Amino acid sequence: MKKIFILLLLAGLMSCSKTEKQGEKESANKNQEEVENPADTIMTVEEKFSSSILSDFLDDTDDDDLAVYLEDELFKFSQNYRGASVLQISHSLWFVSLEGQNNMKNFLLQKFVDFNTNEYYFRLTDTPLNVSDIIVNSSLSRNSTALKKIGTLTKEQNK
């Protein structure tokens, strides 16, 4: 009777051990598939561009609408310009500089919400402002002259 009990106990332990090993193998295979799936890790040039702007220039902003705009619209300028810089002025206003071979082009990028659809859209407008107009004592200030200039220029451009 003891021998039968010991044999049953050993058989039970062995089957548990096999089940655990199979579970570990399946888990390892699943993790390996997730790592090897290139669709999850390969980004387009446009996605790399927007990701760089959002993480390096805008402190990891997670604005999906802005990312799409950067990829679909701003990246088109790469045909005529060498580089881009984006400086956030407020939650819905950015200063964009494009650098070419011998020229700089500056824009204000503003985010709007549509009254009818509640969807966001962006407006990119030329501006005579430059970085020194935007930055006051190395930080943005709500009462700065630059923001007053921006308000005046935006009103004039919308006329």
Whole-number Å distance between alpha carbons of 36 and 123: 40
CA distances from 143 to 75, 133, 138, 149 (A): 32, 13, 14, 11
Residue pair 97/106 in contact (Cβ under 8 Å)? The answer is yes
How many other CB atoms are there within 10 angstroms of residue 131's CB atom? 13
Element containing residue 121 per DSSP (H, E): strand 120-126
| Model pLDDT, residue 132 | 87
What residue ranges do the domains of the chain occupy?
42-128
Whole-number Å distance between alpha carbons of 72 and 55: 18
Residue 104 reports pLDDT greater than 60: yes
Q: List CB contacts of 62: < 8 A, sequence separation 6 or more.
A: 54
Retrieve residue 118's tokens: 């509640």
Residue tagged 């390096």 (tokens): 56
Q: When comparing pLDDT for 17 and 42, which is higher?
A: 42
Report the percent of the chain where pLDDT is more than 90. Answer: 50
Q: When comparing pLDDT for 29 and 135, which is higher?
A: 135
| Model pLDDT, residue 102 | 86
Whole-number Å distance between alpha carbons of 38 and 10: 44
Confidence of residue 140 (pLDDT cuts 50, 70, 90): very low
Whether the model clears a pTM of 0.75, i.e. scores above it, the answer is: no
Tell me: the pLDDT tens digits for 5-15? Answer: 565 655 666 66
Retrieve residue 108's tokens: 């204000």
Residue 75 reports pLDDT greater than 60: yes
Q: When comparing pLDDT for 140 and 40, which is higher?
A: 40
Phi first, then psi: give them for residue 128, nearest 5 degrees. Answer: -80, -5
